[in-house]
Structure 1
Amino acid sequence: MSSINCRIAIVSQDAAWAAAACEALQKAGTRLANPFGLCFAACSSRAEVQSLIEGDGEVQGVLVDHALAGVGADPAMALIESLWALRPELSFYLVLAGDEEEGEAELLSPVELSGCFYRDEADFAGWFRILSAEMAERSATPFYDALREYVAMAKDAWHTPGHSGGESLLGSPWVEDFHDFVGENMLRADLSVSVPELDSLLHPTGVILEAQARAAKAFGARETFFATNGSSTANKVILQSLLSPGDVLLLDRNCHKSVHHAVILSGARPVYLDASLNRRYGIFGPVPKARILDAIEANPEAKALILTSCTYDGLRYDLAPLIEAAHAAGIKVVIDEAWFGHARFHPQLRPTAMEAGADYATQSTHKVLSAFSQASMIHVQDPDFDAHLFRECFNMHASTSPQYGLIASLDVARRQAVMEGYRLLSRALKLAAELKRKIDGTGVFRVLEMEELLPDEIRGDGVRLDPTKLTVDISRCGWRADELQRALFERFNIQVEKTTFNTLTLLLTIGTTKSKVTRLCDAFGRLAREARPPLEVARLPEMPAFTQLACLPRDAFYEAGERLTLLDDDGRPNQALIGRVSCDQIVPYPPGIPVLVPGQLIDEAVLVYLARLIKRQKGVEIHGMASVQGEEAVRVLSVAELERVRPR
């Protein structure tokens, strides 16, 4: 196991005192237990300490001498605020000269200080114990610790699950290999809610509640909730708690399908906002700022606005002015941050949705941090938060038998993000830059710059790019996207995130290593040397604009409907579908944006688009289609059903 190192910076213009304090604290660490590898560095200026915490991911805390000279009423607190803005996960202490300064420092500070020390006391062994205790507090994993301790007790299980800690698998000629594959600890940690020591996800009062409170502090939220069925469930929980039947919701048309499912469940009346589109690369971007602001102005009765930031391709909104405009109109803001849960822990990625003022954010912690698949978080800072209603909606969607391994992984992922997220993300960003440089160096493949990714209509909207998501232009290599993806997988053991007709997407995370980057660069180099004449790539047909809603999505979805084939007997688009109303959400992958939502009117453009996808495009999954005798069909409202639901 790797050794832990926690560096503490001491900032003072009294260089002799700072050096002596470092030496005394280091000496205390040789006499006392030092499980966190505490070591100390003296800095004499703002520039020096800023350089240290930017360049050293092992810095975990800063002691600032309150006697710092400088411009302003309290230069020490100004320094702490600037360092906190850079790395809010660090612990900050003031070193004071006398009792009279403590109250003033606390009043002036917008940063939650971890404590104060007094120079005239100089109890460095005491200081060391306090700093060590702070590292223990920040790095504690209450749920994971309780789970590990319970498994170590080796209690006989007379409760669910049926595999009884894996014992049903042992000695079986059929399934014992699964026990070996998964591992004994994983199976023994798969426990029932009958174990009170492990708390209840549906009504937490113990270690789960404590773990969630630590996550809220780490991610900058008022409250945080653990979700064990991904951001898909998290989005539904939030919107169901905010919306009643008939309430207006403003939403990005290319939101995740879970948002559209939430519209059905809540009975809301959606106002769909068409996203921007980069036609050259088939990439959908954020909704233009002007379109969002116009929708806010045009729908003063709206209860909520939900946007996705960042997108699958790494494009992220300038959220603050959008949130400010929504709040001015009394609209709650929900941000789907499924792909951006790491952002809090590196200044190059911030601000997060919470920092920009959002009321709610959902994060797929498993996508970019070290949690297991499906493990996600809901962050809340809504001043009008109704905890009871939210809990009822949460319990409506959550399993009464949650997987404790998922909860533990969220606890562990939070710990890692707080203690070494900055270091790991700095490495990922450095590797992303190196990977881009080497891919561009092939002369055939090329990583797209943000300006190339941006659709024209959002160029002035302050949109930024998450550098850990690389979109590679493959149009010059002579390979189709599916051929290239298969070659990378079969010949080089590389699986990429996704493709379009002329791009592929690479996702770098805190788990990306230099070895992986080297292997990927080698693969691109070899494939570049095998380049063929460029292909005339068949692009996906351009997605038609949203038509209109004929009724509420919920009403259309819950009607029986009738099924009409997409193509007629001659293989042409079935004209009988024009003017009908869809009962289902129909989503082609890629790009993963609904062509139809329940209650939407089908026009000729929509019909032709779907027919072209069915007839001409390979590698496109279309979710939501019905079937009539093996033929692709669309479930639509009957005339009588439409007459019945339209007035609602």
Structure 2
Amino acid sequence: MKPATQVLVISADANFRQQVTDGLNAAAHKREASGDNPHGLQAVGCPCDQSALDMVLATPASGVDLQVVLIDHGPSGPEGQGAPAVILAQRIIDARPELSVYMLLEDDSDKLLVEQLASDAVDGYFFRNEHDFSGWFRILAAEVAEKAQTPFHDALRAYVAQAKDSWHTPGHAGGDSFKGSPWVGDFYDFVGEEMLRADLSCSVPMLDSLLHPTGVIAQSQRLAAKAFGARKTYFATNGTSTSNKVIFQTLLAPGDKLLLDRNCHKSVHHGVILSGARPVYLDSSVNRQYGIFGPVPLATIRAAIAANADAKVLILTSCTYDGFRYDLAPIIREAHAAGIKVIVDEAWYGHARFHPELRPTALECGADYVTQSTHKVLSAFSQASMIHVNDPAFDEHLFRENFNMHASTSPQYTLIASLDVARKQAVMEGYRLLDRSLKFAHELREKINATGAFRVLSLADMLPEEVKDDGIRLDPTKLTIDISASGWSADELRDELINRYNIQVEKNTHNTLTLLLTIGTTRSKVSRLFDSMLRLAKDRRPPLTYGRMPEAPRFTALACLPRDAFYEAGVRMPLLDEQGQPNAALNGRVCCDQIVPYPPGIPVLVPGQVIEPAVVAYLVRLLQTQRSIDLHGLAQMDGEWRLRVLSDDERAALPER
């Protein structure tokens, strides 16, 4: 399919606007005839008023994507005459930063006003009295072509097309080991020839090196940095889990203090162990009715910043698994004023840059480091993530050393290509696809609520009481459905959806289901989901009395650094005593492992943490009542669950925190 793209010509002068639009379209037609307009670029005009911003934000026609805005500054005249056009330019840039913005000026003196009001966000200038429409079109078409580049993906395809004989890794040699095999030939058919031919190694110089990129990977990363608003962007093929650890090891030396949301992903807590840092854990808020963990209260964050002047780093998760977004800008300002760098785990929010309803992003709020799971909500393959850097004191050499410590020397090249392609799609058509997803989300809310048996929770329903005044927002592409009135248990309903209706949900608690809408959500999928919910609503049963989720205990205390406890041998003590009750002998012991109920993935215990009776009781109750939750970190010995804890001698020998 050939793309169709637009340049929007904005001018208060209707005659001049028509002249420019006609001139650009004549140039487009001429290039089209010679096959030299590969992106289908056409011009459309609009007055220099609110209608221009409305057009920028309007849902585009199917398959037509606005890429460039050409704004007429107007003829020179009294001071400030061009201000409305420049202010409009800034509003367009603020709303859709992925668009390219060019200005039509009378002379060089107009540039000063443009640069004062629109900063350096304007991509280029033309002089309105030149009337070089063919030249202007050539430059605008080149701008679109640059945004549409996928340097690594193109190089990978070109190399595969060369059909080189493989005398290097991997051992399947482009899939030849599978072909014709009566045992594994079906894998060749399932995966496909092109995918196997593209599974190459660092023996191919033209494909660059992820560990020291200077060619096509470096070019792709520069395009990603521009797209996502970062100074530097790095592709990661080990997921955001490894990305978080790389940043931790770059910023934190053993003994350095950091402030972290206890609600952070377990990879963050693993990063604490690896870095040898001294953590200050901040308890997250909890909605006990639905078993949903919320953000850390703003008062808690501010108190932690004030009480820990020696902290090096603050890390927060925004948005969370359930869609909660912090009001990040004031938090980051306060942290920076205290000399604290801010990391934001934005794994679930990598799409936000490309629709104004989802912005501002963490980078736009001033975060120093942001990690994104590009595979979660954009079109990259699983495990493909990005690290974005805006830290003015960034030490690139140190970062690279830590990155290479975690990255494989044999990265999967199709993952890198998928990051390249996902960035291109987000820039070129992300707004249109996200706009569609947001409309689907609104539609599903109304339709599901109309069933009477199911209800999509609002932000007010989900927010824990202690954060209701903290400016928290909700990602509308994540729908949390209250199933209480249906009479179904969450486990039954989830199983019914997958087995009877072929629908797999993202997650569930004891009385909710979570649906994730992405740029891959289609009208057909929406229809099938609603049909299944309507049928299940007709099969409703008497409402159940749900037992409340066991309440996660507050963080207790650290007896030593997490790293110190983790690397001791420890002893493994049973979770239950001989009478099947929570083992009182664990009281006061120091945990060696990270104990994580999943979902949601929030540690109940971290290495070095003192165990109290409430913690043991919580773990026991989870094991007894929550079939859909896995408990990571427990050891199973002789048919019973055990906790690895410090021995008395080990604890006595360790320095206290």
Taking structure 2 as the reference length, the TM-score comes to 0.97
Question: How many Å separate the matches in 2 of 1:588 and 1:647?
Answer: 27
2:316 to 307, 311, 315: 307
1:477-556 pair list within 5 angstroms:
477-556=486-565
**How far 1:580 moved relative to its partner?**
0.3
Does residue 640 of the first structure (1) align with residue 635 of the second (2)?
no
| Unmatched tracts of structure 1, length 5 or more | none
Query: Over aligned residue pairs, what C-alpha RMSD do you find?
Result: 1.3
Cα distance in 2 for residues equivalent to 1:415 and 1:73: 33
Question: Equivalent residue of 1:354, what SS?
Answer: coil
CA shift, 1:45, in A, is 2.3
Name the CA distance, whole Å, in 1 between partners of 2:82 and 2:274: 54
SS of equivalent residue, structure 1 residue 570: coil
Match of residue 73, structure 2, among 66, 78, 101 = 66
Q: Among 597, 601, 626, which residue is 2:606 paired with? A: 597
Residue type of the partner of 1:96? L
Amino acid at match of 2:160: V
Structure 2 CA distance, aligned partners of 1:610 and 1:426? 42
SS state at 1:88 partner: coil
**Corresponding residue for residue 35 of structure 1:** 38
Match of 2:573?
A: 564
> Is contact 2:284-2:293 (8 Å) kept?
yes
For 1:620, the aligned partner's letter is: I
Q: How does 1:368-517 map to 2 (within 5 A)?
A: 368-517=377-526
Answer yes or no: is 1:139 the counterpart of 2:142: no
Give the Cα–Cα distance (whole angstroms) in 1 for the partners of residues 248 and 90 of structure 2: 35
Matched, 1:50 2:50: no
Shift of 1:71: 6.7
Whole-angstrom distance in 2 between the partners of 1:514 and 1:647: 58
Counterpart of 1:105 in structure 2 is 114
Instruction: Give yes or no for contact 1:81–1:111 (8 Å, CA) kept in 2.
Output: no
- Could you say which residue in structure 2 is the equivalent of 1:325? 334
**Greater shift after overlay, 491-500 or 75-84?**
75-84
Q: Secondary structure at the match of 1:303?
A: strand
Identity %: 64
Q: 2:344 aligns with which of 320, 335, 343?
A: 335
| SS state at 1:64 partner | strand
- The amino acid across from 2:503 in the alignment is I
**Could you give the per-residue CA deviations for residues 104-158 of structure 1, whole angstroms, max 9, x where no partner exists?**
5346531432211122211111111111111101110000011010111111111
* Residue in structure 1 matched with residue 182 of structure 2 by the alignment: 173
Contact 1:565/1:627, CA 8 A, preserved across alignment: no
Cα distance in 1, alignment partners of residues 656 and 453 from structure 2? 58
Give the residue type in structure 1 aligned to 2:497.
Answer: L
Query: Matched residues in 2 for 1:616 and 1:10: separation?
Result: 62
What SS does the aligned partner of 1:355 have?
coil
- 1:103 is displaced (CA, Å) by 5.6
Matched position secondary structure for 1:177: helix
What is the match of residue 220 of structure 2? 211
Between the aligned partners of 1:371 and 1:466, the Cα distance in structure 2 is 20
- Alignment partners' CA distance in 2, 1:60 and 1:113: 14
Amino acid at match of 2:48: S
Helix, strand or coil at the partner of 2:486 = coil
Q: Please tell me whether the aligned partners of residues 360 and 378 of structure 1 are also in contact (alpha carbons under 8 angstroms).
A: yes
Task: Note the alpha carbon deviations across 1:398-428, whole angstroms, 9 max, x for none.
Answer: 0000000000000000000000000000000
11 and 617 in structure 1: CA distance in 2 versus 1, 3 angstrom threshold: closer
Q: Which amino acid aligns with 1:456?
A: E
- The answer to whether the 8 Å contact 2:83/2:113 transfers is no
Mean alpha-carbon deviation: is it higher for 72-81 or for 378-387?
72-81
Kept in 1, the 8 Å contact 2:90–2:117? The answer is no
Verify the 8 A CA contact 1:84 1:111 in the aligned structure 2: no
1:206-265 Cα distance to aligned partner (Å, 9 max, x none): 110110011000000010000001100000000110001111110001100000000000
SS of 1:627's partner is strand
- Choose which of 232, 244, 251 in structure 1 pairs with 2:260: 251
| 1:495-544 deviation digits (Å, cap 9, x = unpaired) | 00000000000000000001100000000000000000011112321011
SS at the partner of 1:356?
Answer: coil
Q: Which residue of 1 aligns with 2:304?
A: 295
Find the counterpart in structure 2 of residue 281 from structure 1.
290
Cα separation, 1, equivalents of 2:249 and 2:477: 32
Deviation at 1:377, TM superposition (A): 0.2
- CA distance in 2 between counterparts of 1:162 and 1:396 reads 24
The answer to whether the Cα contact below 8 Å between 1:307 and 1:335 also exists between their aligned partners in 2 is: yes
8 Å CA contact retained: 1:563, 1:627: no
- Number of the residue aligned with 1:584: 593
The answer to whether structure 1 residue 363 and structure 2 residue 372 are counterparts is yes
| CA–CA distance in structure 2, aligned partners of residues 389 and 30 of structure 1 | 52
CA contact (8 A) 1:244 1:266 kept: yes
Distance 2:420 2:465 in 1: 41
CA distance in structure 1 between the partners assigned to 2:298 and 2:174 by the alignment: 53
The answer to whether the Cα contact below 8 Å between 1:369 and 1:509 also exists between their aligned partners in 2 is: yes
Partner AA of 1:179 in structure 2: Y
Q: CA deviation at 1:73?
A: 6.6
Shift, 1:472, TM fit: 0.3
Amino acid at match of 2:265: H
1:41 partner amino acid? V
CA distance in structure 2 between the partners assigned to 1:585 and 1:359 by the alignment: 27
| Alignment match, 1:153 | 162
SS in 2 for 1:313: coil
Do the aligned residues in 1 keep the contact of 2:260 with 2:316 (CA within 8 Å)? yes
After superposition, what is the alpha-carbon deviation per residue over 1:411-466, rounded to whole angstroms, capped at 9, x for unaligned? 00000000000000000000000011100010110000110010000010000000
Cα deviation per residue 1:268-289 (whole Å; 9 max; x = unaligned)? 0100000001111110010000
Q: Which letter does structure 2 place at the counterpart of 1:342?
A: H
Q: Which amino acid in structure 1 is aligned with residue 67 of structure 2? A: Q
Amino acid at match of 1:64: I
Question: What amino acid is aligned across from residue 94 of structure 1 in structure 2?
Answer: M
For residues 289 and 35 of structure 1, do their structure 2 counterparts lie closer, same or farther at Cα, with a shift above 3 Å needed?
same
1:120 has 2:129 as partner: yes
1:13 alignment counterpart: 12
Shift of 1:72: 7.2
Partner Cα separation in structure 2 for residue 551 and residue 240 of structure 1: 19
Whole-Å separation in 1 of the counterparts to 2:123 and 2:628: 54
* 3-state secondary structure, aligned to 2:364: helix
Deviation at 1:473, TM superposition (A): 0.4
AA of the residue aligned to 2:23: A
Q: TM-score, normalised by structure 1?
A: 0.98
What secondary structure does 1:541 align onto? coil
Are the aligned partners of 2:288 and 2:549 in contact in 1 as well (CA < 8 Å)? no
Q: How far does residue 102 in structure 1 lie from its aligned partner after superposition?
A: 4.0
Structure 2: 5+ residue runs without aligned partners? none
Alignment check: 8 A CA contact 2:74 2:82 kept: no
Matches of 1:134 and 1:244, distance apart in 2? 43
3-state SS in 2 of match to 1:581: coil
Using the TM superposition, give the Cα deviation of residue 643 of structure 1 relative to its aligned residue in structure 2, in angstroms.
1.0
Q: SS where residue 530 of structure 2 aligns?
A: helix
What CA distance in whole angstroms lies between the structure 2 residues aligned with 1:303 and 1:125? Answer: 54
- What is the alpha-carbon distance in structure 1 between the residues aligned to residue 416 and residue 545 of structure 2? 48
Mapped to 1, the partners of 2:558 and 2:116 lie a distance apart of 53
After TM superposition, give the deviation of residue 547 of structure 1 in Å.
Answer: 0.5
Does residue 614 of structure 2 align to residue 616 of structure 1? no
Q: Paired residue for 2:3? A: 4
Letter of the 1:149 counterpart: A
SS in 2 for 1:632: strand
- Paired amino acid for 1:259: V
Question: Aligned letter for 2:73?
Answer: H
